[in-house]
Amino acid sequence: MKEDVSLKGKTYRKRLAELHAELVKVQLWAQATGAKVCIVFEGRDGAGKGGVIKAIMERVSPRIFRVIALPAPTEREKTQMYVQRYLPHLPAGGEIVIFDRSWYNRAGVERVMGFCKEEEAELFLDAVPLVERAIVHSGVILLKYWLEVSQDEQTARMKERIADPRKVWKLSPMDLESYRRWYDYSRARDVMFVKTDSAHAPWYAVRSDDKKRMRLNVIRHILDHIPYEDVPMKKVKLPKRDKDPSYVEPQYARNWVPNVY
């Protein structure tokens, strides 16, 4: 999408509303056809993963579009095959699953922070293209996005989180350490791209300093890579409401919420 200084406020909401209407079509199409879609979002802390996922989910059903953001593995999960805990969350027919970080944690945070051994990270990078090939061959449309934020913009967003009581929960000691180790993460990202950018499951990178354009561009790209079609629907008409003149509202006490605002 061509850059336009007018892309803010009303213009952004108008374009987003148009894309939301198309996402609803994707939802109806997936339900009707049993299609399976898996969308992976990766990127540094502050890259905008939460914002773009929120924009996608704003007008669709959370029963069809499911967001997966797994916590740290349990002691039992640590003994499993690495990708095992992610596999149950892959989409069944009629579902679109969005991973807010994914199995690629092993290629990024786990490798950089020393939560796995170097040989474990290398084995993962060798194996994951084969796993993704199996996922795609099972009929899943797999889309992988890397949100690329600049150093200056990440710094600005981190400072905003520190100052904003609504966002301070987004900061953890891990986030601060990953912020410090910018180049370690850059090297890990570079290796990840080389090893896992395959023909059957390519990486799509998007610059995310401009949050609004990034969200619009990503949603447009998702729509362009899902072969959805309009699903015929019957025109909705409200039925007449029943009338019951014998019903009388009871005069019992109710605990009303005060009108503070």
Summarize pLDDT for 160-186 with one digit per residue, the tens. 999 999 998 888 888 888 899 999 999
Residue with tokens 């499911």: 66
Task: State pLDDT tens for residues 8-23.
Answer: 789 999 999 999 999 9
Confidence band for 5, pLDDT divided at 50, 70 and 90 = low
Calculate mean pLDDT across residues 133-152. Answer: 98
Query: Please, which residues have CB within 8 angstroms of residue 65's CB and are 6 or more apart in sequence?
Result: 23, 27, 56, 57, 96, 98
**Residue 110 · residue 124 · CB < 8 Å:** no
Q: Could you tell me what percent of the chain has a pLDDT over 90?
A: 85
Task: Spell out the domain ranges in the chain.
Answer: 9-225
Q: Which class would CATH give 9-225? A: alpha beta
Beta carbons of 59 and 23 less than 8 angstroms apart: yes
Look-up of token digits 């990024």: 108
CB 158 within 8 A of CB 149: no
Q: Please provide the DSSP assignment of 39-107 as one string.
A: EEEEESTTSSHHHHHHHHHTTS-TTTEEEE---SPPHHHHTS-GGGGTGGGS--TTEEEEEES-GGGTT
Q: Is the pLDDT of residue 3 over 70?
A: no
Do the beta carbons of residue 48 and residue 9 sit within 8 Å? Answer: no
User: What's 147's DSSP letter?
Assistant: E
Residues 183-198 pLDDT 10s = 999 999 999 999 999 9
Model confidence over 217-260: pLDDT tens digits? Answer: 999 999 999 999 999 988 999 999 999 999 988 877 778 888 89
The pLDDT of residue 54? 98
- Distance set, CA 258 to CA 250, 253, 254, 255, 261 (Å): 21, 14, 12, 9, 9
Q: What are phi and psi of 42, to 5 degrees?
A: -130, 165
Mean pLDDT score of the chain:
94
Instruction: Assess whether pLDDT exceeds 80 at residue 4.
Output: no
Q: What residues are paired with 204 via a beta bridge? A: 145
Mean pLDDT of the region 105-127: 95
Q: Are 207 and 146 in contact (CB under 8 A)?
A: no
Alpha-carbon span 36 to 129, nearest angstrom: 19
Residues in the chain: 261
What pTM, to 2 d.p., does this model score?
A: 0.92
